[in-house]
Structure formats: C-alpha cells, structure tokens
Amino acid sequence: MRPAAVGRIFRKTPMITLSLIGIGTGNPDHLTFQAVRAINAADLILIPMKGDAKADLADLRRDILAKVLTSPARVVEFDLPTRADQSDYIGAVNDWHDAIAAGWTAAITTHLPQGGTVALLVWGDPSLYDSTLRIAARLGGLTVQVIPGITSLSVLTAAHAIPLNTLAAPVIITTGRQLRAHGWPDGATTLAVMLDAGGAFSVLDPTDMHIWWGAYVGMPQQALIAGPLADVAQQIITTRATLRASHGWIMDIYLLRRGRDV
C-alpha cells in the first residue's frame, strides 16, 4: 500500500492527533516531564507486539505506563508486521512501512472512531534512525506532534563517561550496514554506529582505533565493553551473541574513534 492510499482513510476524520513520544531506552527514569504529560493527554495508546521473542519490549512499555499513566487512556496492543528478508532492502523496508501504517490505521479507526489523540511510545528519539515519522507521513489527514526523547547514543556516552566528540572535531552517525558496505568514512575521527546486525567493525583496520560498545544501555541488563578495537572486538562479538540468545533480542550501539586522541 502506497502512502497516498493509506492517507485517504483519515481525510474524513480531521480531529486525530498522532503523538510520537520518545521514551529513551525503556528506563522510566529517562522520561521527560513533557513525555509524561503527553502520555496522560492521550485518548488511545498503541503498543506494538513483535512476537514472543521480543515480548520484553512490550513489557517495558507496559511498565512505563504502569508508573506514569494516571489518565483513563485506552491501551491497545496490535501485532506489528515483520519485514521481508529480501535482497531489495529499500523496497522491503518501504513495503514493511506500508504494512505498519495499515496496522496503525486499523487500530485507530477501530478504537478512536470519533477522533482524539493517539500515542505511540518510541524507543530513543523519533528523529534518530527511527522510521516512525516516515510511517506517520503515510497517514495523511492527521496532526503529528513529536516529543523528543533521550537517545541511545547519549545514554552510551554517559554510561562510559566520555564525550561524544574530540576537541573541535565532527562526529558521523551511521549504521552497521553502511559501515560494512563502505568502510570508514573519509575525514572522520569519531563514528557512532547504530543498527548493526553484529560485528560490522570487523571490516576495519583496528590499528589506533578504540571502541566503546553497549547493549541494552540504560536498562537493568546493560552490558558495556571498551578498549582498543584489536583487543576487544572478539569479546564484543561473543558477548553480543550470548546476550541475544539469552534475551531473544538485542539493542546495541557503539562509538569508534580513530587516532591517538582517545
């Protein structure tokens, strides 16, 4: 389903506001006061279900609501479609986003037929390597408001007690897929890598390179490893595999810095 087709559903219901609320890494302590107010201003809160293997993600959203929700908002769970595993990555993602938009549409029209405010709790911040805003753009005829959240990148640097950048130097934020395909970007000193399926740093020459890695940052099961990439790369790969097998899912992120100023 293409964006325009999804959007037509809401053109006769102009009083729907979609509130995208950044919730950080799932730790209720990371919620802003603005996020708490937005949660309690919602008429409908949608919780995506990603299957039994990722039930913890839904549980974390429920835990957040149990701690901060004081209004009579209706909380509805819906099944999130899975992305097809195919060579056309961009095409698969677009089809997946269409399917998610259709799921949102069905839930909203069923549970909020008279209009109102529907909220989605978004991991991290909706602006940083998150597709919630792109999916929302497929649902024309509603108002979108974004409540910024703490990013996993800021939680990572706080956990390691390091600055994001070196003095007067830029930072590049990229993905594991891009790192594997293109290697170290020209002119970069510091690289923040998100959405790595595991071990993309293995394509790099580890000489004079330092890594700060974290999984489940900000959560009770947080795991951190830091050191020269040549020394800790295999430890990270092994630890990551063990954690994923134990929890059924993993969210990790890392910072790479090249040169002797680490």
CA distance linking residue 147 with residue 25, whole number of Å: 14
> How many CA atoms lie within 13 Å of 196's alpha carbon, on the beta-carbon side?
27
The answer to whether 200 and 193 have CB atoms below 8 angstroms apart is yes
Could you report the per-residue pLDDT of 109-157, keeping only the tens digit for each?
999 998 999 999 998 898 988 889 999 999 888 899 999 999 999 999 9
pTM: 0.85
Could you report the per-residue pLDDT of 57-76, keeping only the tens digit for each?
788 899 999 999 999 999 99
CA distance linking residue 145 with residue 38, whole number of Å: 10
Q: Where in the chain is the domain with CATH 3.30.950.10?
A: 153-258
CA distance linking residue 112 with residue 104, whole number of Å: 11
Which neighbouring-strand residues pair with 174? 193
* For the chain, counts of helices (H) and of strands (E): 8, 10
Q: What are the φ and ψ backbone dihedral angles of 120, each rounded to 5 degrees? A: -125, 130
Answer yes or no: is pLDDT of 168 > 90. Answer: no
**What's residue 121's pLDDT?**
95
Q: Where in the chain is the domain with CATH 3.40.1010.10?
A: 3-150
Burial (Cβ within 10 Å: 0-12, 13-18, ≥19) of residue 254? buried
Q: How many CB atoms lie within 10 A of CB 48?
A: 19
Query: Over pLDDT 90: what percentage of the chain?
Result: 66
Burial (Cβ within 10 Å: 0-12, 13-18, ≥19) of residue 175? middle
CA distance linking residue 110 with residue 4, whole number of Å: 20
Alpha helices (runs of H) in the chain, residue ranges in sequence order? 3-7, 33-41, 55-68, 89-111, 132-136, 152-160, 176-182, 229-247
The bridge status of strand 209-215 relative to strand 252-258 is: antiparallel
The domain 3-150 is placed in CATH, from the list 3.40.1010.10, 3.40.50.620, 1.10.3720.10, 3.20.20.70, at 3.40.1010.10
Among 7-11, 180-184, 228-232, name the one with the lowest average pLDDT: 7-11
pLDDT band at 4 (very low <50, low <70, confident <90, very high): very low
CA distance linking residue 83 with residue 223, whole number of Å: 27
Sequence-distant (≥ 6) Cβ neighbours of residue 201 within 8 angstroms: 179, 193, 211, 229, 233, 236, 254, 256
Which neighbouring-strand residues pair with 244? none
Assigned CATH topology for domain 153-258 = 3.30.950
Q: Which of 42, 56, 182 shows the shortest CA–CA distance to 121? A: 42
Could you report the per-residue pLDDT of 73-105, keeping only the tens digit for each?
999 998 888 877 777 778 888 888 999 999 999
CA distance linking residue 162 with residue 156, whole number of Å: 9
